[in-house]
Amino acid sequence: MSTTRISEPGDQRAFTYFVGVGLSHSLSPPLHDFVANSLGLGWKFVAHECDSVEEGIRLFRQPSFAGGVVTMPYKTAIMKHLDGLDEQCIKIGACNNVYRAADGSLRGANTDWCGVEGCLATASDVGKGRPALIVGAGGAARAAIYALHERLACNLIYVVNRDKDEVAALLKDTASYGPGLSVKHLDCLEAAKNIGQESDPFYIVGGVPDYEPQSAAELEGREILVHFLKNARQPGVLLDICYKPRRTRTIKLGEQYGWHVVDGTMVIGRQVYEQYRLWCGEATANMIPLQEAWTPSFPIDIWLRNCRYLLIDARCSFLVVAALTKKTHIEYGSYDNYLAKMSCAPAISTMSLGRAWVHQMPEKLRQAGLAGFQGVEMFYEDLEYMAKEAYGDCSRPEHILAAARQARSLCDDNGLVVMALQPFWFYEGLIDRHEHELRIEKLKLWFQIAKILNTDLIQIPSNFLPEKHISGDLDLIVSDLIEVADLGLQQSPPIRFAYESLAWSTYINTWEQSWDIVQRVNRSNFGCCLDTFNIAGRVWADPASPTGKTPNADADIEASLDRLRRTVDVRKIFFLQVVDAEEMETPLIEGHPWHDAAQPSRMSWSRNARLFAYETDRGGYLPILKVARVIFEDLKP
């Protein structure tokens, strides 16, 4: 194994590579760059999407190759292309790490098991020698079984998995892991209940994507997991290898029943030492500042670019600070503190991926997944067009619900969570109360859709119908919104609502007005959606002005943002949209091609000229970073 430092004469190593498919969501590149820089190596970690395993091998054969990380779908395929394999790699049947040995050969290793062992043993060593449980029978299960048996002396390991053939393959592949290992498939709840507390698992490892169980087998598997979590003689350690999102359903279940939970991002951190030991030797690996390596934030500007929407947990709005302040890293005091600030996730509206009458959902969602988005905001129009395509009609509720099921399946296939359903518009303040009742009936359908999509969030934009149709009576508006909030609380699980003021709405068109309404509604499930376009586009910008700005734009936006930082409780921000817009070359007034006498100029502007963040080359000019910085950095509970 090579122990050459990059600073030594003749050492050409300059790049560590991450090869596979679907890499843009990964946490690894900024972490490895930080470690390499802290060691003075100067290596650059490059995530390279490969169309074939041979393409990855070509990178690894270059003189500039310093080390490689391999992910799906090449963990097994790459093994036959290497010059040698380490023992663990052979046993586990998967290679996730490639290094150059002292003789110049390329060798494959597996460090996944190191991550599992490190996470479990560090959380508690009480479980050594006791039974364990693994949820799933995929590649992660093999590394988990190796770590549990070989390193933590867990000889009895239960497996919960819906597919018996996958379990059979797992049993065959792990037969060589050593004497005394017994892997048992629990295929029904009754089998789990027959296990006495003296044989219940202390370590539980989740190895399946974070999807809501749908089939009978999946539901049975969830019941088995809940049984062990709920009835354990002693709450143990639950590690979920999945980290998309970080607080998965499995993690939340563990928390609910008092288990020590470890999220999947820690598995990555625990592998760092072993990876650098292979790449540059034990002496160098011992110099890694492991505590620091796992506390800096990642350069999220990579994620924020071309991302129109960021849906955030109200308490945790720090994810994109790096982008907003143009910094590469931001230090936090501890990893736990860092994780507490990492629960926002990059998502994109299905509408932003292309309107439904041109672009079909399967391809839109596939592209969103490949681009690394973790979720989507489901635009209702997409469901209507899916229903039309399948049934020729979208007026029947059963057709919309069927479309929702298809959309959910597509999201699951592409690793996407539906973070919100929108827009439930033209609702509040209706003068015609019969129309109001029809909207309430429609909301009941939306509750069913939300449950199918597995989202608990519905967005309500402020009403922009003409004055003859809606009232500006604040009491009526608040009463209507209390009604939906209370209906949402009656759902299981409860449905939340994010109320958004649109810059062109008839009565509620500023964030101040929407925040006032949120306070008046005063329900735990009723919050606001803030939008950088709607904030800046109302206070600072005016597309009908020759300057593109309001008369006192700079002073007004500063005053508005000062009120924002002083008054808004960040816990009530359910949802943030990061959006820019194009500056008009000529005022959007009569004679402009986008002018429509029947609608406000800001509405025409929004319909035709919205941009993603950072698209200044396309004319983006709103002070969205100024607005977002206040939201991300200054707001407090």
Which residues are the active-site residues? 75
Main-chain phi, psi angles of 558, to 5 degrees = -65, -45
DSSP β-bridge partners for residue 375: 347, 417
Four-residue CA torsion sign, 546, 547, 552, 557: positive
Distance CA 173, CA 92 (A): 7
Residue 422 to residues 104, 292, 397, 499, Cα–Cα distance (Å): 56, 40, 17, 11
Residue 635 to residues 135, 155, 237, 298, 567, Cα–Cα distance (Å): 39, 50, 34, 21, 8
- The DSSP code sequence of 556-621 is HHHHHHHHHHHH-BGGGEEEEE--EEBPPSS-SSTTSTT--TTS-HHHHHHHHHEE-TT-GGGTB-
Q: Helix, strand, or coil here: 28? A: helix
The kind and range of the H/E element at 498 are: strand 496-500
Say if CB 299 and CB 311 are below 8 A apart. Answer: no
Q: SS3 string of 228-282?
A: HHHHCCCCCEEEECCCCCCCCHHHHHHHHCCCEEECCHHHHHHHHHHHHHHHHCH
Q: Which residues contact 603 (CB under 8 A, 6 or more apart)?
A: 464, 502, 504, 596
